[in-house]
A and B are shown apart, each in its own frame.
Chain A
């Protein structure tokens, strides 16, 4: 039984890790607290629903088209809201409030068209896979394996590609980036596209397993932000470590107490970290000046 819970923890941890990574990609580089990111997570499944059930397209094509549209929505948010605000030198608080605005608008549009009740993408009973005592559905296995691939590829990309270096440079100092001839607004479009991609892929996979309603994004994002904080803000590896820690601890709390304790564990962890190690797990000691 214990191993089964650990396995469940890894599944949920991989979701948090990917969502948190997409959030960190925006937060670390632009400092925008991109709450509207939560709607991308639920927007993609609704697009899959439209193409798969509504138009009767094949599942793979529906997934692909839905992901592309979600990525597009993410870029649109930057184009219509954040970029104009940034050009006017609006404060980050204004960006945050605008972000909440986008979130409310998109959520309401979705519930207007699709209703607020839970929808399912896959009505068959999912096939399971058994290793020893551990039982996982095929959807869960694909979540974990696709997340792992995304994480490894992304970290390599960040370390070795020139775009990766530019992304890390932008995290450190965007004024200097401009002095070196970098068009940071072009960079931001690509970053928004990438973060939308992460959210869309994992949102689609999870919804295929358990279904969705217009409000599924926010609780996941809250956990993802906590993952980012306990991992260490500013580092791109941090959300991954934080995500898996939260996932596994939540699963263990279900095992030891009950499912009601899941969220309490997250926030307990957050408080412990804020009190005793506010810089997160990965923070290095740094020079004071």
Chain B
């Protein structure tokens, strides 16, 4: 494999479950969701992460993006020049050094307008001291105008001129359809200054007719913007179509790794995905 952007090194994560044991007493049982997992995510490629429901894929993303702390192990993020240990960093710090994320369930600012949803995702807002954003100074206005221009361009590049997103820019985001929200969630990532994007099932729950569009967008992240994509995906067609590499997660470990074709022919993978 080429150079890696993320080195995941023996990450372990367990949760505690309260059970009643054979003597009828309460007892805490520890169960491991991620068990000594190692993985290198190659730079400038699309890597897909697959696995059954509850395999711990989202938990792994939560660890990378700082929402969940692992029990042990480290995550190294290889920036352009140096390598940073992000295992103990807070979500907002991790976002600021260039790791963007899209959630499995639609996370969107429901009561903000479509345009405001884009503006707030701009990397210039990152790490800003709240007080600096209080006043509409001349400089703030200029920054804002640039951001609006940027948002417009992004919409036009992806959805063409006269796209419905720009037409509906002042609509509240909650009035968009589920699929439109997902598309907005994806496009928003282009407002930030990211190197690595973690996408949690971008094609989940959307109409089959939108899936090619979603695949186009993800491919353009890598081809046009030189980003790296780490993608959780249940739709095997999407994985086969766009992923350069594929890893299969099972029992808390990476059980199979390689090109999508290789991994799909793995027996355990076939059992889960093809029922065979």
Chain A residues with CB under 8 Å of chain B are 157, 160-163, 165-166, 168-169, 171-173, 175-176, 178-184, 186-187, 189-190, 234, 286-287, 289
Contacts and interface: CB of A to CB of B under 8 A. Distances in A.
B192 interface: yes
A172 B125 contact: no
B2 interface: no
State the majority secondary structure of interface residues on A. helix
21 contacts: A161-B136, A162-B133, A165-B119, A168-B112, A168-B116, A169-B109, A169-B112, A172-B108, A176-B103, A176-B109, A178-B92, A180-B95, A180-B121, A181-B127, A182-B126, A184-B92, A187-B130, A189-B130, A190-B131, A286-B174, A287-B174
Contact of A166 (B133, B140, B144, B174): B133
Interface string B106-133: 0111111000100111010111111101
Interface of B: 65, 67, 90-92, 95-96, 100-101, 103, 107-112, 116, 119-121, 123, 125-131, 133-136, 140, 144, 174-175, 178, 192
A289 B110 CA distance: 11
Nearest to B188: A180
Contacts of B140: 162
B130 A163 contact: yes
A190 B112 CA distance: 21
B101 A179 contact: yes
B245 to A, nearest CB: 24
Q: Quick one: which of A160, A180, A190 has the most chain B CB within 10 A?
A: A180
Nearest to A189: B130
Given A163-B130, A173-B110, 4 more contacts: A171-B111, A179-B95, A182-B92, A182-B126
Contacts of B91: 178-179
A172 B111 contact: yes
B95 A166 contact: no
A157 B140 CA distance: 14
Contacts of A172: 108-112
The list of the 4 closest CB pairs from A to B, nearest first, reads A181-B126, A162-B133, A181-B95, A178-B91
Contacts of B144: 162
Residue of A162, A187, A189, A190 contacting most chain B CB atoms (<10 Å): A162
A289 to B, nearest CB: 8
A162 B135 CA distance: 8
B133 A161 contact: yes
Nearest to B116: A165
Contacts of A162: 125, 128, 133, 140, 144
A183 B128 CA distance: 8
A179 B65 contact: yes
B110 A186 contact: no
B59 to A, nearest CB: 15
B112 A176 contact: no
Contacts of A179: 65, 91, 95, 100-101, 103, 107
Contact of B123 (A165, A181, A289): A181
A156 to B, nearest CB: 10
Given A162-B144, A166-B133, A178-B95, A183 B120 contact: no
Nearest to B98: A181
Q: Count chain B CB atoms within 10 A of each CB in A181, A190, A286 and give the residue with the most.
A: A181
Given A160-B136, A166-B130, A186-B129, A173 B108 contact: yes
A180 B67 contact: no
Nearest to B193: A181
A181 B136 contact: no
Nearest to A178: B91
A176 B130 contact: no
A190 B111 contact: no
Nearest to A172: B109
